[in-house]
Structure 1
Amino acid sequence: MSLTARDLLQRLSNDTGLPYPLVARRVNRSMGKGKGLLESVRSIADEHDLKSSRYQIDAEKIIKETEKILREDYTQTLMISAVLGQMVEAKGKDRFPAPAFFAFIEMLSHISDARRDTKSESSTEIEERTTRVIELMTTLVSVLCEWSEKGVVGVAKDCPDSLRDMAKAIFRKTKLLQGGLWTCISCDNIVNAKETRALMCPDCDSSISRSDIHERFDKMVGRNRNGYGRSSESQIDD
């Protein structure tokens, strides 16, 4: 399994003997000042004469694990998407950060057809997979994007070249949201955030509300979708 930000902070806590909450606060403050996640973690490691090479996160490995989860099962991915969609609109501590949600949307647009099944996943299975995807996406944006106390402010200097386009898309959509604009998850049109319904522009919401849940999901995250998670405008070879 991929190492997540929480795993990394726990490792640092164990190695330094510092309480996990203290490590988390220090890293958050450091990132708020413009340092990246790894830079912040390694700075604390250096203070305790620990090898910085021990504290790494492989963004491409996170991508692969997330893709594996999303390809496993159509219904499972449908449910995960529904939960994250609700969480990004939530308030307070239950809210899923918008940049992480945008990363998830990018992931959906890059996966190939998933197997459609007829079995029913248990609520525990869905919850476990959802929790894992949340951890993976929040970790991914922490590594790909440059942060400040205002949130995402650009693409991280050490963002892998293969993921820079994803990081740019996350930054662009986050910047729009900060300005009160939202990118419709169905047609990609930019609309006033206050006019959206279920994360879609009024036109798409009106059209999709007449469809069944599977058709709604197939239309999600792209125009003229011709396969699960793909659009005819942007296909990526796996």
Structure 2
Amino acid sequence: MTWHEGRLCGFDLETSGVDVENDRIVTACVVQCGGGSPAQSASWLSDVGGMEIPEGAAKVHGITTERARAEGRPAAEVVTELIAALTQVVLSGVPVVVMNASYDLTLLDREARRHGVTPLVDAVGTDLRVIDPRVLDKHVSRRRGSRTLTALCQHYGVRLDGAHSADADAVAACRVAWRIGATRPELAALPLEQLHAQQIAWAREQGESLRDHFARTPGKESWADGVRTEWPLIPHQRGEA
């Protein structure tokens, strides 16, 4: 059985912003699907640890600061349970499907360290296997245009129910990954360990290409320094908060 025909675990975060080092988890979803078994889904709403959710972020995912504080659970509890759920998935051999993995997994890593929770990479070690639809799509398709989840769903003919909610995005990412595997036999044939390793290399190449593009584009030269090439997450630097 190829990886896209087996069990997949979608993971998605909606957050207070786009700074992986300092922003917070607002909502999260872990959903297992495929492989001939019923779907299993778990979702979380965090109180964001007393932080404010900027208006711009709230407009994207629909969660205001007031709602997070009133309905959300303590951030440390959310992070603990989220990492426990992902650890169980990873150690059972199921790949984690994450759209733009280096964002979600890095932010989760920093939240774990912030709250004194064992980070996922420390809990699972070398067993982590990630499938990133964005990295796969950029590798197999040279078309121009957006590579957002919405754009990938449109390109691959995948249904997206309620974009920018963690549960909908997690399921949609799995659907896109499945469609890429179904239409690209050369990717479907790769063992998960090899596919994971290939994505590390592809993501680095894609990041370097983007960095070069910014460096030679008038008005965007300064953006080049902000491009990171690490995947599936940016390693934590010792001494950082």
Q: Which has the larger radius of gyration?
A: 1
The structure, 1 or 2, with the larger RCO (C-alpha pairs under 8 Å, 6+ apart) is: 2
Common fold by TM > 0.5: no
TM-score by length of 1: 0.25
**Going by fraction, where is helix more abundant, 1 or 2?**
1
> Which of the pair is proportionally richer in strand?
2
